Amino acid sequence: MYSDKVIDHFTNPRNVGEIEGANGVGQVGNAKCGDIMRISLVVEEDIIKDIKFKTFGCGAAVATSSMVTEMVKGKTLEEALKVTNSTVAEALGGLPETKLHCSNLAADAVHDAIKNYLEKTKV
């Protein structure tokens, strides 16, 4: 059902955890629907220097979370905002049909964290 890449990211998830001194934090989903993704990141000079995730959810949810952190780490905010849920799914070699909606929100979580960073720095 899952591609090898999904299984790889599920088994050895990259960048798990929470960054103590994060300057941007985002969260999407809720426990009721079965998926929560939390992203914390450190932005320096418009570049995502560090990023970590914590995820409650199925295999797809964990794998997309892991994949998105790899995809945006070291990128500018502008580049990171171009990464969408579907580009994440693509990078993983596709996801099962039933997983495309509810479990594929990792890019949204990153965008949410960037928004949080931007709001904070605006102030």
Partner 1 sequence: MKRIYLDHSATTPVDPQVAELMMKYFVDYYGNPSSVHYYGREVRKALDEARTQVATLIGANPAEIAFTSGGTEADNLAIQGAAKAKLKKGNHLITSAIEHHAVLDTCKHLGKNGYELTILPVDEEGIISVDELKKAIRPETILVSIMHANNEVGSIQPIEEIGKITKQQDILFHVDAVQSLGKCSIDVKAMNIDLLTISSHKIYGPKGVGALYIRKGVRVSPLMFGGAQERKIRSGTENAPGIIGFGKACELAGQRMESERAHLTSLRDKLIDGIMSKIDNVKLNGPSGSKRLVNNVNVSINFIEGESLLLSLDMIGVAASSGSACTSGSLDPSHVLLAMGLSHEVAHGSLRLSLGMQNTDEDIDYVLEELPKIVDRLRAMSPLYTKTSC
Task: List the catalytic residues.
Answer: 33, 102
Contact map string, positions 53 to 92, toward partner 1, x by CB under 8 A: -xxxxxx-xx------------------------------
Least distance in angstroms from the C-beta of 11 to partner 1: 6
Q: Which ranges of 1-123 would DSSP assign to H, the alpha helix? A: 4-11, 59-72, 77-82, 85-91, 106-122
Task: Name residues whose C-beta falls within 8 Å of residue 51's C-beta, 6 or more positions apart in sequence.
Answer: 15, 19, 39, 40, 41, 42, 69, 72, 73, 110, 113
How many residues line the site for partner 1 (CB under 8 A)? 28
Selected binder of partner 1 within 3, 8, 14, 16 (CB under 8 A): 16
Residues that bind partner 1 (CB under 8 A): 1-2, 7, 10-11, 13, 16, 27, 31-38, 54-59, 61-62, 98-99, 102-103
